[in-house]
Structure 1
Amino acid sequence: MTARSLQGTDVFIGLGRSWSGYKHFIRDLSVDALKGLSSRGRGGGGGGGGAQKLVASRMRVRAIHVWGGGRLQRLALASTDHAGQFLQAADWLLQSQTASGAWTVPVERRLNDHMLLKPHWSSAMAQGQAMSLLTRAYRVTGDRRYLDAARRAAGPFSVDSRDGGVRTLFQDKYVWYEEYPTVPSSLVLNGFIYSLMGLYDLWRTEGEGGEAGRLYAAGLTSLRALLPLFDTGSGTLYDLRHVTGGGPPNLARWDYHVTHVNQLLVLATMEREHTLFAELADRWTAYMRGHRAAHN
């Protein structure tokens, strides 16, 4: 767990709880610096606007200072270490997965007055993205622990939201995997699509006959049926909370709208026999250029 704190002109980024023995740490110093400067702009004194003007590729390490107790075995600087960070993330997922196959969120989340998630809830989006990473780690290393963890991650997709899982049904017919498994359901679009991508990656990795293929197929059927409900004629909706819980529609910000478009373009490459994804991607792209649906 990483936390940031400010003391004078210094920004401190934690590396977790105490430990014994050697630990291998990989840090992206440019990201740490940008996050630290951003924190200063949010109330730590100092100008926050300057952090936004910095470009990571132009930053340079001027000096490295080590103080305090302990022993440093090896220190190395590199322009990138994506492979190392990738495997560290995969190992963290192995260590942090619960017995039910989930990675839980330890904080409360409130979508509105009627949709509250208490600490230690699961997210279909997080499950799907973890599956995508773990299946790739398995393909790179051949270590079956990663594949086994990805398979366990499919467990919450078969458990209803009210029972601690991420599954809900829309109108008692269409299965939906919830980014925020609230009761009543919220049906967030981008999180659902990310969860489908994770199930797809697991299905294509483990082959036919696994649970992931069935879950993916059921979700794809729901997505094709419900996608038109997210089209406003001038943009998209972030979710369907206005249908399930009442209140006004929750319009997607333009950055989320762009995410929807990009997700549909990816789905169009995954499911070439279904033209709906490409057609909607074209229409939703046109909305960003000022196109609007016809009206009476």
Structure 2
Amino acid sequence: MRAGTTLVGMAGKAVRDLRRPSFPVDVTALRGDTPAGRPGRYPLDLRPMTAGSVLDHERLVVTRAATGETYRNPVSVSLYALAQHTGALAGSRRPAVPDERTTGIQALLTQARWLRAGQDGNGGWRYPVPVPRYGVRPGWYSAMAQGLAVSVMLRGYAATGERSFLDASEGAAELMLRPLAAGGCSHYDRLGRPFLEECPSEPVSHILNGAVFALFGLCELSRHQGTAVHERAADRLRDSLAEFDLGYWTRYDLRHPAPASLAYHCLHTALLTAAGGVLADPRWPAVATTWDRYTRSPAGRLRAAVGKGRFVLRERRAGS
């Protein structure tokens, strides 16, 4: 199929399809009315995102790589665990207690125990797959994986009281905040503020959604510890938001100028809305409101679809 025909088809579908991906912000979680030291529902209701998760015979999430092989992706494992935890709490008028073993809590603990057992001596989970887009070979750590695992481990600790879950969360956060040059996941600016890198690369990629997911883990650890370990990362990311704004759409990362897909653009809006509640900072949802207006503009959607289509085609040609 010719490139022009492909782009027209993609753009036309983007304008015709008014259905937007669902990334519900969990307003119950943002109220923060759970008992002290017991994390409640995650800021996003991840159940729609994880509805298609595939489980193996051990009831663990498995992901299919580009090669067709399956592996256990710590991000997918964590997202599913948090979604199941939300479902467990949503089905009860009170948070789950240690001796309550609902299906959702059991699912959370199954994933959490795999994460705990697979955490390496550095405090992380290495990815066994490459990321050609960023020139990254297998064996990399992800701030997104680290931050999501922190959120899972804290809930595992709350559900069981097992100190090893708390130790695992602290180790995951330490690696996440370690500088890239030292094998960690954070790129520091001149003010000493970290950008939490979903896919550490050279040059840096600065992926927006991964950084926000990672930030949520730090926020929850800060709340548990009574510290402010998350504040510098939050300041850096908030000050970077304008760089992701194309004036009509958002960018997936700061390494490539292409607009994000519709799904990721909608996810950006939801994440910033949730971040405003988590951080009690109205500047985040103010940006989200602007980005949501882009989504409602047929002209903006058309322009984004064309730009994204061109980027995908260039990537395919470069890889062929």
- Name the TM-score, length of structure 2 as normaliser: 0.61
Aligned-partner SS, 2:148: helix
| 1:165 and 2:184 aligned | yes
Q: Partner of 1:238 in structure 2?
A: 252
Other-structure match for 2:158: 139
Letter in 1 for 2:274: V
Deviation at 1:81, TM superposition (A): 2.5
**Rg bigger for which structure?**
1
Query: Quick one: which of 230, 243, 250 aligns to 2:258?
Result: 250
- Match for 1:257: what amino acid? H
CA distance in 1, matches of 2:239, 2:224: 27
- From 178, 195, 200, give the equivalent of 2:219: 200
Q: CA deviation at 1:108?
A: 1.4
- 2:288 corresponding residue in structure 1: 281
Give the corresponding residue for 2:131.
Answer: 109
CA distance in 1, matches of 2:283, 2:223: 22
What pairs up with 1:78-227 in 2 under 5 angstroms? 81-111=103-133, 115-170=134-189, 174-208=193-227, 213-214=228-229, 216-227=230-241
Q: Name the CA distance, whole Å, in 2 between partners of 1:166 and 1:206.
A: 21
Higher relative contact order (CA 8 A, sep 6+): 2
Matched residue, 2:277: 269
Q: Equivalent residue of 1:145, what SS?
A: helix
Query: For residues 248-271 of structure 1, what are the alpha-carbon distances to aligned partners after superposition, in whole Å with 9 as ceiling and x for unaligned?
Result: x03111100110011011111112
Counterpart AA for 2:262? W
Q: What stretches of structure 1 of length at least 5 have no aligned partner? A: 1-12, 16-24, 37-41, 43-79, 243-248
Note if contact 2:207-2:253 (Cα within 8 Å) is conserved in structure 1.
yes
* Higher helix proportion (structure 1 or 2): 2
Q: Secondary structure at the match of 2:170?
A: helix
Aligned-residue offset at 1:85 = 1.4
CA distance in 2, matches of 1:262, 1:223: 15
Over 3 Å counting, the alpha-carbon distance change for 1:230 and 1:292 in structure 2 is farther
Q: Which runs of 5+ in 2 are unaligned?
A: 1-54, 69-101, 301-320
Q: Normalization by structure 1: what TM-score?
A: 0.65
What count of residue pairs does the alignment treat as equivalent?
A: 211
Q: Separation in 2 of the partners of 1:157 and 1:285?
A: 30
